[in-house]
């Protein structure tokens, strides 16, 4: 079992990748100086642009992305694991990948994950989102096996789909993640309860760095980057939407203890869901 310090870096990313990278670099440096060995940034760390046309004008493929180049050098310089919650990068065919990168202390990419679930919705306040019109959804769940913990990777809207996190927990993930750019409206309603629910039902830590505040493209995000322990307690939170960072001590022994007290994963059983009238059975 291991103990390490984790950090959530909260950003307010705008339309200029170089400026976003500069702000993120300063906060990552400060978090590492305070002892963080694992640092996570939010979804869309490199750029936050609602217009598809504006986005495509700004981004490149992953190899050329200036935010990722900065992050690789910084991870190597600081000797940390740096989890970029996601970057917008070209995926070919006119599509974009919403891709997370986990960098090792040598600056190399140890794991990547493309966001699986697309946020397509019309909200009561008039906001409309169609992520599937721009982004190519991922098809694989990913666990990064780091020296101090197995970390399950996910992005934002994925937090509403428990099967991803359950599958990762079954495969030994001790830390689950949900770096995000939650809208203020949905964040105020559901952010905390979703993070705590994923932690409780899987007996795992949940670490979720967030975007926060009013952005250049007109959207408003909720902030409140946080860390939840395996018993469902919020042990660290950046209370508000201002850029900054928050630290938490992660003790992987707490995962084993929580799963021992509530052995939901061990007690899980296969079942089928029978349609009323007995017409057919649907695998659960």
- Tens digit of pLDDT for each residue in 63-109? 999 999 999 999 999 999 999 999 999 998 888 999 999 999 999 99
Has 156 been annotated as catalytic?
yes
Among 15, 115, 136, 174, the one annotated catalytic: 115
Nearest to 28 by CA among 67, 64, 78: 78
Q: How far is it, in rounded angstroms, from Cα 231 to Cα 86?
A: 27
Q: What is the pLDDT of residue 1?
A: 76
Catalytic entry in 43, 72, 150, 174: 43
Catalytic status, residue 115:
yes
Helix axis angle, 184-202 to 162-170, nearest 10°: 30
What does the alpha-carbon distance between residue 72 and residue 150 come to, in Å, rounded to a whole number?
21
- Total domain count for the chain? 1
pLDDT of residue 119: 83
What is each CA distance from 136 to 115, 132, 158, 203, in whole angstroms? 8, 7, 14, 31
pTM of the model: 0.94
List pLDDT tens digits, range 189-237. 999 999 999 999 999 999 999 999 999 999 999 999 999 999 999 999 9
Average pLDDT, integer, range 132-155 = 95
| 268 among known catalytic residues | no
Confidence band for 281, pLDDT divided at 50, 70 and 90: low
Domain extent, residue 50, equals 3-283
Longest CA–CA separation in the chain, Å: 64
Catalytic residue among 8, 15, 156, 174: 156
CATH label of the domain that carries residue 119: 3.60.110.10
pLDDT score of 273: 87
């Amino acid at each position: 079992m291991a103990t390490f310090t984790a950090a959530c870096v909260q950003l307010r990313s705008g339309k200029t990748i170089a400026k976003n990278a500069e702000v993120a670099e300063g906060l990552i440096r400060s978090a590492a100086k305070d002892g963080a060995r694992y640092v996570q940034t939010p979804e869309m760390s490199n750029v936050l642009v609602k217009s598809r046309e504006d986005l495509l004008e700004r981004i490149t493929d992953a190899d050329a992305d200036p935010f990722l180049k900065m992050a690789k050098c910084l991870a190597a310089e600081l000797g940390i694991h740096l989890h970029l919650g996601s970057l917008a990068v070209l995926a070919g065919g006119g599509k974009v990948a919403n891709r997370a990168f986990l960098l090792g202390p040598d600056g190399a990419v140890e794991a990547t994950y493309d966001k699986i679930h697309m946020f397509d919705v019309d909200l009561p306040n008039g906001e409309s989102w169609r992520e599937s019109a721009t982004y190519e959804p991922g098809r694989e769940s990913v666990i990064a096996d780091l020296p101090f913990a197995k970390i399950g990777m996910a992005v934002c809207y994925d937090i509403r789909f428990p099967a991803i996190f359950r599958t990762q927990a079954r495969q030994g993930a001790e830390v689950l993640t949900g770096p995000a750019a939650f809208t203020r409206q949905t964040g105020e309603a559901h952010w905390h309860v979703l993070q705590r629910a994923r932690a409780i039902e899987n007996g795992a830590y949940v670490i979720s760095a967030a975007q926060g505040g009013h952005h250049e493209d007109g959207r408003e995000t909720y902030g409140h980057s946080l860390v939840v322990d395996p018993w469902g307690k919020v042990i660290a939170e950046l209370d508000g939407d201002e850029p900054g960072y928050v630290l938490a001590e992660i003790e992987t022994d707490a995962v084993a203890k929580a799963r021992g007290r509530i052995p939901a994963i061990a007690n899980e059983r296969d079942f089928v869901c029978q349609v009323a009238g007995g017409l057919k059975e649907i695998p659960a």
